[in-house]
A and B are shown apart, each in its own frame.
Chain A
Amino acid sequence: DAGVIQSPRHEVTEMGQEVTLRCKPISGHNSLFWYRQTMMRGLELLIYFNNNVPIDDSGMPEDRFSAKMPNASFSTLKIQPSEPRDSAVYFCASSRQGAATEAFFGQGTRLTVV
């Protein structure tokens, strides 16, 4: 398996623009997670899907952020409008089911909002 695949690897956008990050989880994994990582705040869980259904989105910073998982093999994280403080590395991870199983992370998308 190719692992968790994220795209793009790097994104530079102007403030106010819409940004869409994409993730393909490992086939057969039921759980998908979106994380944000910054130097100041470390790794933060944004949202968690189980069987394509959002279970916990309490980490989503505000209404500008939205995430979807239309099927078991694809998820998006959208920021609209983007702001400079959204600059971070965004990771997608997947696991078979629940916290007791190993989560596999993608390579991340480094987002820079100027």
Chain B
Amino acid sequence: KNQVEQSPQSLIILEGKNCTLQCNYTVSPFSNLRWYKQDTGRGPVSLTIMTFSENTKSNGRYTATLDADTKQSSLHITASQLSDSASYICVVSGDTNAGKSTFGDGTTLTVKP
């Protein structure tokens, strides 16, 4: 069964600190992995998309890594800001049909001043 597991479930950090969110998946075959940020009351916004051949992708202070061999991904946030407080969702697609996607339950990040 295709699964995407994210950890931790929730995280609280102080403003300015770094943090790393984890995503482990068992989706096969693999097409791509996406990280989304969802602010409270809003729709998810794509942060990064990585295919099999990509190991690292950055988007500003967000850096995603992918190890297709161990089926693990991480999202690293540098110099956190209060606006980073949100839910971060890992989504893995099993083929080029975007409908075949498996969603993680998300990590809720709270950045405190």
Say yes or no: A48 contacts B49, CB within 8 Å: no
Selecting from A11-19, A67-75, A80-88, A95-103, the interface stretch reads A95-103
Say yes or no: B98 contacts A98, CB within 8 Å: yes
Say yes or no: A55 contacts B97, CB within 8 Å: yes
Say yes or no: B99 contacts A33, CB within 8 Å: yes
Say yes or no: B98 contacts A105, CB within 8 Å: no
**B51, CB-defined interface residue at 8 Å:** yes
Question: Nearest Cβ distance between residue A21 and chain B, in whole angstroms?
Answer: 13
Say yes or no: A33 contacts B98, CB within 8 Å: yes
Q: Indicate whether A105 sits within 8 Å of B103 (C-beta atoms), given known contacts A43-B89, A99-B97, A100-B31.
A: no
Complex interface: chain A residues within 8 A of B31 (CB): 99-100
Say yes or no: B98 contacts A103, CB within 8 Å: yes
Say yes or no: B95 contacts A108, CB within 8 Å: no
- CA A4 – CA B45 in complex, angstroms? 12
**Contact among A42, A58, A99, A106 for B32, CB-based, below 8 A:** A99
Say yes or no: B97 contacts A56, CB within 8 Å: yes
**Contact among A56, A100, A107 for B99, CB-based, below 8 A:** A56
**B93, CB-defined interface residue at 8 Å:** yes
Question: Nearest Cβ distance between residue A26 and chain B, in whole angstroms?
Answer: 13
Q: Which of B27-73 contact A (CB under 8 A)?
A: 31-32, 34, 42-46, 49, 51
**B83, CB-defined interface residue at 8 Å:** no
| Chain B interface (Cβ < 8 Å from any Cβ of A) | 31-32, 34, 42-46, 49, 51, 89, 93, 95-101, 103-106
